[in-house]
Amino acid sequence: MKKFLAVLCVAAVCTSVLVAAPKKSKVKGVKIGVSMPTKDLQRWNQDGANMKAQLQKAGYKVDLQYAANDIPTQVSQIENMVTGKCKVLVIAAIDGSALKNPLDQAKKKGIKVIAYDRLIMNTDAVSYYATFDNYKVGTIQGEYLVDKLGLKDRTKKNPVYMELFTGDPGDNNINFFFGGAMDILNPYIESGVIVVPSKQTSKAQCATLNWSTEEAQKRMENLITSNGYGPKGKKLDAVYSSNDSCAMGITNALKSAGYTAENFPLITGQDCDITSVKNMIAGTQAMSIFKDTRTLAAKVVEMVDAIVKGSEPPINDTKTYDNGTGIIPSFLCEPVYGSKENYKELLIDSGYYTEAQLK
């Protein structure tokens, strides 16, 4: 009940954030560049659309570009934003280490850069970082598994069997997602309460290129074959997944192996993508972290507005995120988790989705 009330409180805070929009004075016609990784994942479509709508409502012109998960394309798009006289750039990087050259150009022109959701590495051109508390994302996922699997009451004589998946090795966020989750799960692995039959527990072994559903499915299929997992085969209690696109691939592989809602392993996720929410309702995904992109977009608009008007942007973290050139001042929004039990209050009542979208 306490967790449910906390979710409602966070949802209420998110709703209140949405009504506060910066005044349009002195910003009309100022151009803001927004660079998103791809349209292929639902969350980036929503992030881009929310950002553009809120910036335009505040009076800005917006150059929104999607890079089709292609690094040279994103580099070229950002270069065009720099030459196109954007005042501020908001960038969700495909690869956080691949943007130094275009951002050096931005810095020379006095253009401020806000890294969005993914920290941009190894350049001092990044002024600010806006994201969710990504370490907390991982700890919530880990704590969920501890709770639902009853790990505190188990011993190595009664272990759970689990496999582990995280995202793209070029995304700095996996250090926080996977790191947070493993800080919770590792003590149970070390004590033998969690058994990982594949022995694939390092970040490199568990990484999924481009957060690809297809790559996650291939790896899960290989794990099923090599370990003999199945409803009538070797026991599999849970699969830790850092996000929903990986969770979808894992789910597809497990369905093909004969698992049904009645015996499905617990699968974690992140983003509350529509397909994953449908899977939660159907009983084939246990949970997903909800990161309300409306909240993050609203905070970024506040940051942009402060930069344009020459005041200090809102910041609540000056210790955590070092991009290789120093600590980047950051604003961290609060994540919460959704499940079959609370998705209606969290996602439908808040207006994030309609009931029809989840049918």
Whether 282 shows a pLDDT value over 50: the answer reads yes
Give 177-187 pLDDT, tens digit per residue. Answer: 999 999 999 99
Q: How would DSSP label each residue in 161-212? A: EEEEE---TT-TTHHHHHHHHHHHHHHHHHHTSEE-TT---SHHHH--GGG-
d(CA 47, CA 66): 11
**pLDDT band at residue 256 under the 50/70/90 scheme:** very high
**pLDDT band at residue 336 under the 50/70/90 scheme:** very high
**pLDDT band at residue 12 under the 50/70/90 scheme:** very low
| Partners of 339 in beta bridges | 287
Query: pLDDT value at position 4?
Result: 41
Query: pLDDT value at position 293?
Result: 85
Give me the half-sphere count of Cα atoms (radius 13 Å) on the Cβ side of residue 138: 20
Q: How would DSSP label each residue in 278-289? A: HHHHHTS--EEE
Between 166 and 170, the more confident residue is: 166
d(CA 121, CA 96): 5
Give 299-314 pLDDT, tens digit per residue. Answer: 999 999 999 999 999 9
Q: Give the helix/strand (H/E) hosting 53.
A: helix 42-57
Whether 23 shows a pLDDT value over 90: the answer reads no
Average pLDDT, integer, range 271-292: 96
Quote the mean pLDDT of the chain: 92
Residue type, 143: E
- Full-model pTM: 0.83
Q: Find the helix packing angle between 2-18 and 293-308, rounded to 10°.
A: 40
Query: pLDDT value at position 8?
Result: 42
Average pLDDT, integer, range 14-39: 70
Average pLDDT, integer, range 314-325: 95
CA 283 and chain centroid, separation: 22
Give 35-69 pLDDT, tens digit per residue. Answer: 999 998 778 988 899 899 999 999 999 999 999 99
Query: pLDDT value at position 25?
Result: 56
Average pLDDT, integer, range 87-108: 94
Q: Parallel, antiparallel, or unpaired: how do β-strands 336-339 and 287-290 relate?
A: antiparallel
Whether 22 shows a pLDDT value over 70: the answer reads no
13-22, 90-99, 182-191: range with highest mean pLDDT = 182-191
Between 341 and 3, the more confident residue is: 341
* Cβ contact 170:94 at 8 Å: yes
Query: pLDDT value at position 16?
Result: 41
